[in-house]
């Protein structure tokens, strides 16, 4: 095999999108993330998934920020984002806009991300790297999903877990709300 030229890559992605069109409209709520490198990576993931937007709540760092820009590699200029400082207001706003709020968290009643019936309009709620999705935030979500760990570690980095779940919601979603 040989690497593809840019025009061939574009064709490859276009054909894949036609064969596997997105089944869900996606947004990401970043609740008090601490690491700007994670925020930058989430811009890239949001762009790759065609996500509608990123919503920054709590103390999550936002552009302009040199570490976000370095990791996002220009994607922060392509993906729509907004800051809603109070997490409760952000959740109410997104729910009012018709988003089904799904926390990415190991919580009581959480389902494996592969088994969740994602609706056609979903917002993934991502929590703080150390403390996860706060209990008050979790209580306002319509569901919760987790990524199973087969090794000894209890979790993945927030942006890695978000990428797995975002693609599953995007391509496996669009079914009835649980």
Would you state the pLDDT for residue 174? 54
Would you state the pLDDT for residue 172? 84
Residue 48 CB partners (closer than 8 Å, separation 6+): 163
Total domains in the chain come to: 1
Show the domain range for 126.
Answer: 21-172
Is residue 15 a part of any domain in this protein?
A: no
Would you state the pLDDT for residue 114? 96
CB contact at 8 A, 39 and 14: no
Is residue 124 a part of any domain in this protein?
A: yes
Count Cβ atoms within 10 A of the Cβ of residue 61 and give its class: 0-12 exposed, 13-18 middle, 19 or more buried.
Answer: middle
Q: How far apart are CA 31 and CA 59, in angstroms?
A: 7
Is residue 177 a part of any domain in this protein?
A: no
Instruction: Chunk the chain into consecutive blocks of 10 residues (it has 178) and report each block's average pLDDT, rounded to whole numbers.
Output: 95 94 95 98 96 95 96 96 98 98 96 96 97 97 97 95 97 60
Which value, to the nearest 10 degrees, does the dihedral of the CA atoms of residues 35, 38, 42, 45 take?
Answer: 180
Would you state the pLDDT for residue 90? 98
Is residue 138 a part of any domain in this protein?
A: yes
CB contact at 8 A, 101 and 138: no
Report the CATH number at residue 165.
3.40.1280.10
């Amino acid at each position: 095999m040989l690497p593809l030229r840019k025009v061939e890559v574009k064709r490859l992605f276009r054909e894949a999108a036609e064969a596997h069109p997105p089944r869900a409209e996606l947004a990401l709520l970043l609740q008090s993330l601490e690491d700007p490198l994670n925020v930058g990576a989430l811009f890239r993931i949001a762009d790759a998934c065609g996500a509608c937007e990123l919503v920054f709540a709590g103390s999550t760092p936002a552009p302009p920020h040199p570490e976000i820009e370095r990791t996002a590699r220009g994607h922060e200029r392509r993906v729509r984002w907004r800051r809603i400082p109070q997490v409760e207001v952000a959740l109410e706003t997104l729910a009012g806009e018709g988003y089904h709020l799904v926390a990415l968290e190991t919580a009581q009643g959480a389902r494996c991300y592969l088994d969740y019936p994602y609706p056609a309009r979903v917002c993934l709620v991502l929590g703080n790297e150390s403390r996860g999705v706060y209990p008050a935030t979790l209580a306002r979500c319509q569901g919760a999903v987790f990524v199973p760990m087969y090794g000894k570690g209890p979790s993945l980095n927030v942006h890695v877990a978000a990428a797995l779940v975002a693609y599953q919601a995007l391509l496996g979603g669009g079914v009835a709300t649980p």
